[in-house]
Amino acid sequence: MAKNYPAQNFLNRELGLLEFNRRVLAQAEDPQVPLLERLTYLCIVSSNLDEFFEIRVAGLKEQIKLGGIAVGPDGLEASQILKRLFAPTHQLIARQYELFNKELVPALAAQGIKFIRRTHWNAAQQDWVKEFFLREVMPVLTPIGLDPSHPFPRVVNKSLNFAVELQGKDAFGRNSAKAIVQAPRVLPRAIPMPPEIADCPHGFVFLSSIIHAHVGELFAGMEVLGCYQFRVTRNSDLFVDEEEVKNLRVSLQGELPQRHFGDAVRLEVADNCPPELANFLLRQFELKPEDLFRVHGPVNLVRLMRIPGQVPRDDLKFKPFVPGVPALLQKKGADMFKAIRKGDVLLHHPYQSFKPVIEFIQQAASDPDVVAIKQTVYRTGEDSELMEALIMAAQRGKEVTVVVELLARFDEEANINWAGRLEAVGAHVVYGVVGHKTHAKMLMVVRREDKRLRRYVHLGTGNYHPRTAKLYTDFGLFTCNEEMCADVNEVFVQLTGLGKAKKLHHLWQSPFTLHSKVLEAIRNETKIAKTGKRAHIIAKMNALLEPETIMALYEASQAGVKVDLIVRGVCALRPGVAGLSENISVRSIIGRFLEHSRIFYFRNEMKHDVYLASADWMDRNFFRRIEACFPLIDSKLKKRVLDEGLKIYLKDNCQAWEMDCNGFWHRKTSGRGVQTCAQQDLMQSLGQALGAGEED
């Protein structure tokens, strides 16, 4: 049963998520950031907000609809939270479009990258657009006139649509005043125009502009009075009653198509859309006026994310970066097993390459002495060398076991496809434990050596996803430590079989021991501080929300423990409150890479305990997921994580933000002092250009 704590001790999760997106938007506002990267950050904010509405806002609306009055740790009911979200959400989106129209578009145009609006098309451009419309667009459009025999169509989640106002009668004598035109998703939203036509090196025309200009072609003999783009965001949280289904994969395959048609939660329309038409659309989607967002520009900025990739202007992007490779693995075809036997190997992504992880699985797949491979898969992408290696291993007769998390949000379809391919070649595929997502990042290889079996494992803070390993900061550890390997093997036994959880040597595991062990470590520092000795906790994670952990940190602060928290996203803890948390600081780093690693440090009377984990300090990670938190045993690697993963981030005064007791974030500046940029410094120290590696 949940404990009741003082509501004033906690900040609201949803408001915290909006604050996180403000920090991301600040990257798009920063003139020091390369121009095309600023556009990317703007698109990332839109993508984040889409998920915010699809999951968080949708969840709040669902609570209200079901009549629940569940109250979070902050004491707010769902209806109260929704009211508080209204103003800041509208302000954030308004600022996005202001930045796009007034700063980014003119700055891009000055660099020869133009979004050519239809009001500015010359004769040659008009001809090109018309020809493109007739050839590429019109054949795939299906206009739907609204009348008694043509009801309002089902509108796909986040798709581009047009509400068209008409006058006159059609060939059948029908006198419909409205029609809907849906833009197929196969069409790009920004179409490159040939330089000789665009009169600039890189000209783009919006699909919405092309359809606006020629929508009359779809309604011959009728007069188009107006054409207005709109987009609806829907509830995208899948519901599968895991206790009722006999086959989770089959049930999910039936549920996935419905994600596109969940309850509407937000309507975006062009800012010139007449009020009566906007109200008509609101009624169709059963939305309220506060769910309406009028935007000056494309209703889906996310789709502009492709623009930087279409413009070969390296001077307007981040400088190319080549990840480093540890010295002992730099030799081509280096024996991964031999390297791991020499000692634990630590990789710090993306500063160090993810390639050794891929090579480890590939070598295991082709090595005749390897008899078994076991791996967890949460997110891995649609095109994965790792998964191909597992398929090859199974084809070669090795025992391959893969724990695939089918409910990894927005990756369900890719994971279902991989599960099918793995099963087809004889791999053992399991879907974890009912009611608990498998979020742990674990890989184990069993190899026959010297007439006995030896286990090798890889444990990580991030997904086995080669693409995101270039964009997310994470740590990965290779080890053949027998006790650590035995722990990992035990977790795999739990996931694939049945039985009681056994006591582990080193791993802290959700849902059994992670929460209690974290609390124990925090309380141990509290106990040490009360004796007058120095006590220190540093914790880095994506989110801090679990109430009992927050209360334990407050108690530690009051006892004199110095608590430094590095939280990328949302933090429900209030730092710097007199008598409660004056010894706690909370900071966030927003930069080129997405901070994703979870690191927990406890000074523990100079023992300097360092743990890496797949889990944030959230209820779901502690109690509703399978998570792994593992210690660093090697003192050199422990120091590396302290230096590279924590201390340098606490010194950062370029990309750091600090949170006040009310949940507002303030940019940390260097003033006239020495500038420290954690991500930049790590690129220089670990990147391939400097030949840095494991021996540093």
HSE-up of residue 32 (Cα within 13 Å, Cβ side):
6
Residues 363 and 418 in one domain: yes
User: Does residue 563 form part of some domain?
Assistant: yes
> According to the model, what pLDDT value does residue 351 have?
97
List residues bridging with 628 in a β-sheet. Answer: 509
User: Does residue 695 form part of some domain?
Assistant: no
Residue 324, amino acid:
G
Of the pLDDT bands very low, low, confident and very high (cuts 50, 70, 90), residue 260 is: low
pLDDT for 129-154, tens place per residue?
999 999 999 999 988 888 755 688 88
Q: Averaged over 455-470, what is the pLDDT?
A: 94
Q: Averaged over 385-395, what is the pLDDT?
A: 92
Number of compact structural domains in the chain: 3
pLDDT for 606-656, tens place per residue?
999 999 999 999 999 999 999 999 999 999 999 999 999 999 999 999 999
List residues bridging with 163 in a β-sheet. Answer: 180, 228
User: Does residue 2 form part of some domain?
Assistant: no
Q: How far apart are CA 666 and CA 686, in angstroms?
A: 29
Whats the size of the chain, residue-wise?
696
Q: Which residues contact 247 (CB under 8 A, 6 or more apart)?
A: none
Average pLDDT, the chain: 90
Domain stop point among 261, 282, 316: 316
Indicate whether 241 pLDDT > 70.
Answer: no
Residues 539 and 674 in one domain: yes
- Tell me if residue 120 is catalytic: no
Residue matched to tokens 């009377």: 605
Of the pLDDT bands very low, low, confident and very high (cuts 50, 70, 90), residue 72 is: confident
Domain stop point among 473, 506, 539: 506
> According to the model, what pLDDT value does residue 106 have?
97
Residues 273 and 369 in one domain: no
Residues 98 and 240 in one domain: yes
Q: How far apart are CA 159 and CA 587, in angstroms?
A: 36
Residues 479 and 608 in one domain: no
Q: How far apart are CA 60 and CA 79, in angstroms?
A: 7
Q: How far apart are CA 443 and CA 460, in angstroms?
A: 9
List the one residue out of 418, 439, 435, 422 whose CA is nearest residue 376.
439
Residues 306 and 343 in one domain: no
H-helix or E-strand containing 452? strand 452-460
User: Does residue 696 form part of some domain?
Assistant: no
User: Does residue 383 form part of some domain?
Assistant: yes
* Whether the Cβ atoms of residue 476 and residue 462 lie closer than 8 Å to each other: yes
Q: What is the DSSP letter of 212?
A: H
Residues 50 and 175 in one domain: yes
Domain stop point among 316, 335, 365: 316
**Bigger pLDDT: 519 vs 255:** 519
Residue 5: CB atoms within 10 Å? 15
List residues bridging with 443 in a β-sheet. Answer: 375, 458
Residues 500 and 514 in one domain: no
Indicate whether 443 pLDDT > 80.
Answer: yes
User: Does residue 43 form part of some domain?
Assistant: yes
Q: Averaged over 338-345, what is the pLDDT?
A: 96
Residue 140, amino acid:
V
> According to the model, what pLDDT value does residue 236 have?
81
Q: Averaged over 518-540, what is the pLDDT?
A: 98
Indicate whether 392 pLDDT > 80.
Answer: yes
The torsion angle over the Cα atoms of residues 124, 128, 133 and 134, rounded to 10 degrees, is 100
Q: How far apart are CA 23 and CA 569, in angstroms?
A: 9
User: Does residue 321 form part of some domain?
Assistant: no
Residue 26: CB atoms within 10 Å? 17
User: Does residue 602 form part of some domain?
Assistant: yes
Residue 343, amino acid:
G
Residue 600: CB atoms within 10 Å? 24
Residues 451 and 558 in one domain: no
- The model's pTM: 0.92
pLDDT for 572-612, tens place per residue?
999 999 999 999 999 999 999 999 999 999 999 999 999 99
> In this structure, what CATH number is given to the domain that contains residue 379?
3.30.870.10
Residue 539, amino acid:
A
Query: Which tokens in the block code for residue 19?
Result: 């604050």
> In this structure, what CATH number is given to the domain that contains residue 163?
3.30.1840.10
> According to the model, what pLDDT value does residue 68 have?
66
Q: How far apart are CA 177 and CA 277, in angstroms?
A: 11
pLDDT for 37-52, tens place per residue?
999 999 999 999 999 9
Tell me the percentage of the chain whose pLDDT exceeds 90: 76
463: left (phi over 0), alpha (psi -120 to 50) or beta: beta
Tell me the percentage of the chain whose pLDDT exceeds 70: 92
Phi and psi at 503, nearest 5°, equal -70, 130
CB neighbour burial string for 474-505, b if at least 16 within 10 angstroms, e if fewer: bbbbbbbbeebbbbbbbbbebbbeeeeeeebe
Residue 549, domain extent: 509-690
Q: Averaged over 648-671, what is the pLDDT?
A: 93
Among the listed residues 202, 212, 436, 439, the single catalytic one is: 439
Query: Which tokens in the block code for residue 666?
Result: 């303030």
Q: Averaged over 398-417, what is the pLDDT?
A: 75
Q: Which residues contact 558 (CB under 8 A, 6 or more apart)?
A: 579, 580, 583
Residues 166 and 146 in one domain: yes
Residues 17 and 137 in one domain: yes
Sign of CA dihedral 363, 365, 370, 376: positive
> According to the model, what pLDDT value does residue 66 have?
82
pLDDT for 215-230, tens place per residue?
999 988 888 999 999 9
Residues 559 and 497 in one domain: no
List residues bridging with 539 in a β-sheet. Answer: 565, 600
